[in-house]
Every structure is written in C-alpha cells, then in structure tokens.
Amino acid sequence: MSSPPSCRVSVIGASRQRVAKAAAILHADDSLNTVLSETLVIKGDASGSPPGVPRSVTVEYLPCVARFGCYEDEDGRTIRYLETVEHHGEHGTLVQGKSLAPFFDELGLDGPDDETPFPGICAAAIGCGVDDGEDVDKIKSFLESLSSSCRAQVSASDDDRPLSGPLTVCIEPNQEYATMKEETEAYRNLTEEEKKESVVSGSIGPGKMARFAFSVAERAVRRRWEKEFDEYEQLQRQSDKLDTSSEVEMHVPNPQQTRYSCRKCRTVLFGVADLENPPHTQSQHSFRKKGASHNIITSLCQSHFIAQPLSWMDGCGDMEGKLHCPKCSYKVGHYSWTGAQCSCGTWVVPAIMIPKSKVDEMKPISYDYVTATGSLYRPYGIENLPTTDQRGLGLGLVEAGD
C-alpha cells in the first residue's frame, strides 16, 4: 500500500519562541498531522472520499519567522518592508533560520504527479505576533514570488487545475477581543493551570494557533480537489432529494418535551432532543480580558448547539453560513463545519449554533393542559397533522404565530 500524499503548511509568526510552542503542540497531537478527506465533505452521509481524492493527506508543518524592517523615505515617511521569511527547523528551535526556496526548487522538471499533488508549500497559517493586514499581504506576496516557477509547472502539466499560489490565512481574535494583541495579553495573564487547559481546548494562545494551522491545512486539501468535492456533494444532494421525494419526513419536535421557537414569530424550530448529545464540556474558566466584568453568566453557554442539520436549515450546504427562521426569515443563528467557540470557551466541531437570545423556550405541554385549552402550536412545514379526533386526544391545532 502506497503512503498517503503530504502537504506542507508554513506556520509563520514574528516570534520564534511562540511559533515553536505551536509547533510542539502540532507534533504532540497525531490528529493534527493527518487530514481525512471524508471529514471535508459538506453534509456527507456516505463514508469514504470523493472519487479521485486520497483518503488521507499527511501534513508537514514548517515553523517560520517573518522579519520586518523599516526606513524613512525622502518625504520623512516611515516605510515598513518584509526582509525575509525563514524556516527554523522541524520544531522551530533552530536559532539560525534557512531560506524557504529549496522547498520550491525540489520540484522535478516533469511537474507534479499523483504522488506529489502539493508541490512546494501549499498553505501558510499566519499569527504569533503577525496580525496587521499589510504585513500579511507582504508575506503573501513573498510566498507567491517563491512559488511562481512552481505554479508555472503545475499549470503546464494540469490545465484544468491551475493553482493560484499558497493559501495564505491570518488568525483572527476571539469575539470578545478587538485585536490579537489584546487576546495575547489576556493569555499572558492566565495562570499556569489555565494555560494548560487552553492547550487542550484550543481556545486561546499556542493551542489555538495549532488548531488554526490544522484548519488551514484542511482548507488547502479541499482547495486542491475542489472540483471533485463539489461534484461528489452535488451527487449526494441529488440522491437526498430522490430519497425524500418518495417519503417526506418533516421535523416535528415532541410537544411533551421542551421546544424552542423563533423569538420573532413563535414558529417552533427545534426541540431538546435535537441538541448535541452528549453536550460539550464547559471550560472551567473564562478567557475574557483582565479587568472586564466577571459576571458568572458570561462564562456559561449562551447558545444552543444542534446535533445535525434540521429540515428547515436547507442542508447547511456551505462550509459556514447563517440560519434564518423559515417563516419570517429572522436570523436565528449560524453554522460552521470547521467549528466555533461557545461563550464558555469550548471549541465545538462542527457547530450548528443558535444563541439563546434568538429563541423562546417552550415548556413541555402536558396532557391535562392540552385537553383543557384545546390548542397546540403547529411546527413549521406541517400542514396536515392528525386532527383532534384522529389523535384521540381532543386536540385542536393552530398555526404558530397566530
């Protein structure tokens, strides 16, 4: 059996020590060193990979440091420029960095083949002190200039799949922080025990950077075989439509359990049985910046996480997107197949996330209450539920929102 192909992802930062910490976490966690292509299929019920796509891709991380300089022009303005981006060894511990050019020069004259689908460096995860947009653009231009000859060989050998250079992505701060500098300062103020926990949760600091680098690797693999993934997912969607056309099964939350309705129009959206099971473990501390309000509510889960896409969510067909009430189009949440961070600090993957502020909780309807009032909200999409007499309960139904 041939070994899986590999792709190189450079982990670029301004501090070698910080890059080395992220590299150490990446090397220690085997799950962050292999991308399984079946996990990249959006709403894929079938197991396995799309035809023509390897089942797995090994990730080789290249810890790198970007060095910037500046000078004053003739008008007295300070001009900042990128001096170089250098590789500091497998673990980022080499004091003297080396050029990245050899990683691109090693491509053979025949161009890439099935065993080398990722010539050169396929992606760059930027962070660890580099968060300015202009600095990121300078790094991107630098990598593109190094890979220009590689891209020319790829285009010459595979006209249907030209690559546009390494995928370059910069890490973003968590929602409670305005900048990565602010988030980094919050990480430094954590206790040693909290820092250890953050490595496991991947919610802040080097643990977050490591998981971000892996997510960039996943995106690079997906981009390499975008055509195959799109065709495979289209076939699946067509198959799903054929399956549902013969027997339509509408989602009906059990009224004898807690349900949740749109806060604007009161349409029933989901029930307690639709929530993630088991629920994610809440972090035991808050990652909010020091000096901010420490109200205990802020560290609790402020959102509901749904286990699987529901019928009114249109399949959650993109990598991420918004969720709207199917009746009034009110935005009730969002989803991300690569995960999202709960307000408690835990990273949930995948994340179908509905903030509690967007829905109203509906207590279970008891038999006595229903028979006494003769009314029950009708879930969205159900036009012909059994009548009162057919159910044998004496129930009358009214549309949600009436």
Per-residue pLDDT of 245-296, as tens digits, reads 444 455 778 888 899 999 888 889 999 999 988 788 776 555 555 555 444 4
Q: Which residues pair with 336 in a beta bridge?
A: 320, 351
For 313-373, give the DSSP string: GGGG-SSEEEEE-TTT--EEEEEETT-EE-TTS-EESSEEEEEGGGEEEEPPPPHHHHHHH
Distance CA 311, CA 320 (A): 17
The least confident of 41-45, 99-103, 302-306 is: 41-45
Least confident of 135-149, 190-204, 260-274, 288-302: 288-302
Task: Give the pLDDT of residue 318.
Answer: 84
Position of tokens 């903030």? 355
Segment 96-108 shows an average pLDDT of: 79
Determine the average pLDDT of the residues in 197-213: 94
Q: How far apart are the first and last CA of the chain?
A: 63
Average pLDDT, the chain: 80
The pLDDT > 70 percentage for the chain reads 75
DSSP secondary structure string, 207-246?
HHHHHHHHHHHHHHHHHHTHHHHHHHHHHHHHHHHHHHHH
Q: How far is CA 193 from CA 60, 187, 189, 198, in A?
A: 30, 12, 11, 9
Q: What is the mean pLDDT of residues 179-201?
A: 94
Whether this prediction's pTM lies above 0.85 is answered by no
Confidence tier at 359 by pLDDT (50, 70, 90): very high
Pull the structure tokens for residue 276: 């993630």
Closest CA to 202 of 191, 189, 215: 215
Helix (H, G, I), strand (E, B) or coil at 20: helix
Q: What is the pLDDT of residue 277?
A: 80
- Per-residue pLDDT tens digits for 293-312: 444 444 578 899 999 888 88
Q: What is the DSSP letter of 346?
A: -
Please state whether 92 falls in left (phi above 0), alpha (psi between -120 and 50) or beta: left
Between strands 320-324 and 331-336, the pairing is: antiparallel
Choose between 109 and 142: higher pLDDT. 142
The pLDDT value recorded for residue 34 is 95
Q: Name the more confident of 49 and 334.
A: 334
**45: confidence class by pLDDT, cuts 50, 70, 90:** low
pLDDT at 236: 79
Residue labelled with tokens 């529901």: 310
157 band by pLDDT with thresholds 50, 70 and 90? very low
Mean pLDDT of 178-198: 94
Packed helices 192-201 and 205-224: angle between N→C axes, nearest 10 degrees: 10
- Give CA–CA dist 130/117, Å, rounded: 29
